[in-house]
């Protein structure tokens, strides 16, 4: 037993050096534009509000903090659960309905939870004012591979269907469909506008879009007529009558006939236009042609520089016509004349949230007013970008390490959670750690639950089995039941041993392990390791008295050192 404990403790030291400690999961809630908490963070995931309902999720998240295993439901603006957690997937509400998945199939429901379209599709996505329903092959990541797309109105009316399609995208005034690795365009009523002959489409706008041919780009109209031949290395979507293109290392502004209006002097140009404005970069580019070492500046509709130099920058916010840029670790917001309207702001990143701003500093986010006034403290792990009056926020939550408690808590903190009048109190001999204990139940069995405190707070806890059995085999059943629960929660144990003192005893008591346990011939030991805790479960006997302990120890907080200075 001591040999195993030494090995496990060495393994704990290795993991502590190699693995980051995790505090727990996230809680999603909502604040208003004044920073007031309207719905307390309580969900494992949540979307922003759409048509007065927000989609919420209970379950586990992937390593990318996206819903993975659990159920979706919907809440109203007061946080009331108006549609229960019944669905495996869900979209936001659009046109009074939402797409949801149940028992492996998708359908549409209304705001009362009533079914509008039967659960018969393999996938459904929102498509502007309509829905794209798919029947066919969906891969393990949820992406469609081959099947039939049916365009549905919110009331379930079918507009048109396309078969043998692997991908379908809607761009407002037309659809892009992929079949046999080639794309074609379709009108909103399903009318086929082009043949399936295009390698890919890019830089889309309402009536003209980019296409790729032999690694070069050009433009066609939505009927497939070539407007500008493929000749460019990079292109942007047309904004009105103009687009930005790159050819032979030079950026230019062109018209709808492909005529060059002027060349940009910058080494790199952002290919997003906002009323003719964009931003450029002068300096060293990396192997992919992206800015590496240099400075950014705002460029006007005439292609000329109109701002100072900045070390970092975002694309222009097209709705509010503002540009965010960074210099000397401070962020600034500029108008289209190149004037600073806000800043300097001491933060790591800056995002627009309607007319307000989200600032991030030291991995925490805060909401700021349009004039730079701070609305919330830096307490949120994520603030969603939305135009809605309610903003979805994410807060890191601490998952308890043991029952309701967490490592490092004070004795008073634990008493507040477990009860102010413990049944047992005292001090351990040797290291002087204080302890408190309570009579309790675990899985229907009598136990004592004990808490141990050092100078840095709670560092260890223990379940002491007090349940009595006339049949010793029932202790083994208890042990296995607890092990099953711990394995379900923490995963497979690092070590799980049934230990016999001799092989002869193992053979003789093979069918009577309860007696072997009580005689001291058989012991049990199971060990688990989490990011924050080392968990050991042991059972043995001394003079026919069976002892069963479940110990939790912090991996971060050490037990007090024993003091034997006064011992002769």
pLDDT at 435: 96
- pLDDT of 397 reads 65
Q: Look at residue 27 and tell me whether its pLDDT is greater than 70.
A: yes
Q: Per the structure block, which two tokens stand in for 24?
A: 């727990």
Whether residue 157 is predicted with pLDDT greater than 90 in this model: the reply is yes
Inter-residue contact 386 to 392 (CB < 8 Å): yes
Other Cβ atoms closer than 10 A to 377: 10
Q: Give 561's DSSP letter.
A: P
What gap in Å lies between CA 52 and CA 382, rounded to an integer?
21
Give 140-151 as a 3 state SS string. CCCCEEEEEEEE
Yes or no: say if 185 and 204 are a contact pair by the CB < 8 Å rule: no
The SS3 call for residue 517 is helix
Query: What DSSP string describes 398-434?
Result: PPPSBTTB-TT--HHHHHHHH-SS-SEEEE-TTT--E
Calpha distance 127→190 (Å, rounded): 14
Q: How far is CA 352 from the centre of its chain?
A: 21
Close Cβ partners of 112 (under 8 Å, ≥ 6 residues apart): none
Residue 326: other Cβ atoms inside 10 A:
21
Angle at 68 between CA 64 and CA 72, to 5 degrees: 120
Residue 17: per-residue pLDDT: 32
At 359, list the tokens.
């600032």
Taking the C-alpha atoms of residue 298 and residue 314, their distance in angstroms, rounded to an integer, is 11
With contact defined as beta carbons under 8 Å apart, do 446 and 437 qualify? no
Distance CA 462, CA 440 (A): 12
Residues contacting 433, CB < 8 A, separation 6+: 427, 452, 453, 454, 459, 559, 560
Which contiguous run of DSSP H or E holds residue 227? strand 226-232
Which pLDDT value is given to residue 556? 87
Report percent pLDDT > 90 for the chain.
75
Structure tokens at 42: 């309580």
- Tens of pLDDT, residue by residue over 504-534, are 999 999 999 999 999 999 999 999 998 889 9
> What does the alpha-carbon distance between residue 318 and residue 357 come to, in Å, rounded to a whole number?
15
Q: What is the pTM of this model?
A: 0.66
Q: Which of 244, 36, 501, 440 is nearest to 509 (CA)?
A: 501
Q: What are phi and psi of 337, to 5 degrees?
A: -95, 0
Cα–Cα separations (whole angstroms), residue 212 to 33, 198, 228: 44, 7, 12
How many residues are recorded in the chain?
A: 568
What per-residue confidence (pLDDT) applies to 26?
A: 64
Kindly state the DSSP code that residue 152 receives in the 8-state scheme. E
Mean per-residue pLDDT of the chain = 90
Long-range contacts of 512-517 (CB under 8 A, 24+ apart): 512/473, 513/473, 513/476, 514/471, 514/472, 514/473, 514/474, 514/475, 514/476, 515/472, 517/472, 517/475, 517/476, 517/541, 517/546
> pLDDT at residue 11 above 80?
no
Tens of pLDDT, residues 385-435:
999 999 999 987 666 789 888 899 899 989 988 998 999 999 998 778 999
- State the Cα–Cα distance between residues 119 and 407, nearest whole angstrom: 47
Beginning with the edge strand found earlier in the chain, give each strand of the sheet holding 26-32 in spatial order: 37-43, 26-32, 390-396, 382-383
Tens digits of residue pLDDT in 272-322:
999 999 999 999 999 988 999 999 999 999 999 999 999 999 999 989 999
Whether residue 474 is predicted with pLDDT greater than 80 in this model: the reply is yes
Is pLDDT at 2 greater than 60 in this prediction?
A: no
SS3 3: helix
Dump the DSSP string for 104-115.
TEEEEEETTS-E
Q: How far apart are CA 269 and CA 267, in angstroms?
A: 7
pLDDT tens digit sequence for 550-565: 999 999 898 888 664 5
Q: How far apart (Å, rounded) are the C-alpha atoms in residues 453 and 306? A: 64
pLDDT at 13: 37
Residues 6+ apart with CB under 8 A from 245: 217, 232, 234, 235, 236, 251, 252, 254
pLDDT digits (tens, 9 = 90+) for 208-243: 999 998 899 999 998 989 999 999 999 999 999 999
């Amino acid at each position: 037993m001591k040999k195993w404990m030494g090995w496990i403790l060495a393994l704990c030291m290795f993991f502590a050096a190699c693995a980051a400690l995790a505090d727990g999961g996230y809680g999603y809630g909502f604040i208003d534009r004044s920073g007031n908490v309207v719905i307390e963070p309580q969900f494992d995931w949540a979307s922003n509000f759409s048509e007065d309902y927000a989609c919420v999720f209970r379950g586990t998240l992937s390593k990318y903090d996206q819903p993975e295993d659990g159920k979706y439901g919907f809440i109203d603006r007061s946080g009331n659960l108006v549609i229960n957690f019944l669905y495996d997937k869900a979209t936001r509400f659009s046109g009074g309905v939402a797409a949801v998945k149940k028992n492996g199939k998708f359908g549409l429901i209304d705001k009362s939870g009533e079914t509008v379209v039967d659960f018969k599709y393999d996938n459904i996505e929102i498509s502007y004012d309509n829905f794209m329903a798919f029947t066919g092959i969906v891969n393990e990541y949820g992406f469609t591979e081959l099947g039939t797309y049916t365009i549905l109105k919110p009331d379930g009316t079918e507009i048109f269907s396309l078969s043998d399609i692997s991908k379908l995208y809607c761009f407002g005034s037309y659809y892009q469909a992929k079949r046999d690795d080639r794309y074609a365009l379709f009108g909103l009523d399903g009318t086929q506008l082009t043949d399936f002959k295009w390698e890919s489409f890019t830089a889309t706008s309402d009536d003209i879009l980019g296409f790729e041919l032999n690694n070069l780009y050009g433009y066609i109209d939505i009927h497939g007529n070539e407007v500008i031949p493929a000749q460019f290395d990079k292109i942007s979507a047309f904004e009105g009558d103009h687009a930005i293109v790159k050819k032979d290392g030079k950026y230019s502004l062109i018209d709808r006939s492909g005529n060059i209006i002027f060349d940009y002097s910058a080494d790199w140009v952002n290919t997003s236009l906002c009323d003719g404005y964009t931003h450029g970069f002068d300096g060293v580019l990396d192997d992919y042609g992206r800015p590496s070492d240099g400075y950014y500046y705002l460029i006007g509709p005439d292609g000329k520089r109109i701002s100072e130099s900045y070390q970092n920058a975002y694309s222009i916010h097209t709705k509010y016509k503002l540009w965010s840029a960074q210099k000397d670790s401070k962020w600034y917001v500029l108008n289209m004349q190149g004037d600073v309207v806000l800043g300097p702001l001491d933060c790591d990143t800056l995002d627009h949230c309607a007319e307000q701003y989200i600032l991030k500093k030291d991995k925490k986010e805060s909401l700021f007013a349009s004039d730079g006034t701070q609305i919330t403290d830096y307490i949120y792990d994520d603030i969603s970008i939305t135009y809605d009056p309610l903003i979805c926020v994410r807060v890191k939550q601490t998952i308890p390490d043991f029952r309701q408690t967490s490592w490092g808590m004070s004795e008073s903190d634990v008493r507040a959670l477990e009860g102010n009048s413990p049944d047992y109190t005292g001090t351990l001999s040797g290291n002087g750690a204080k302890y408190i204990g309570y009579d309790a139940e675990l899985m229907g069995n009598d136990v004592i639950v004990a808490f141990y405190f050092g100078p840095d707070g709670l560092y260890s806890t223990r379940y002491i089995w007090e349940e009595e059995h006339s049949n010793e085999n029932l202790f083994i059943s208890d042990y296995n039941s607890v092990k099953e629960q711990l394995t379900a929660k923490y995963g497979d144990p690092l070590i799980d041993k049934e230990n016999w003192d001799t092989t002869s005893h193992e053979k003789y008591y093979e069918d009577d392990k309860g007696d072997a346990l009580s005689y001291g011939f058989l012991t049990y030991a199971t060990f688990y390791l989490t990011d924050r805790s080392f968990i050991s479960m042991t059972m043995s006997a001394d003079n026919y008295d069976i002892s069963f302990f479940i110990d939790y120890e912090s991996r971060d907080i050490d037990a007090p050192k024993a003091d034997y200075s006064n011992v002769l």
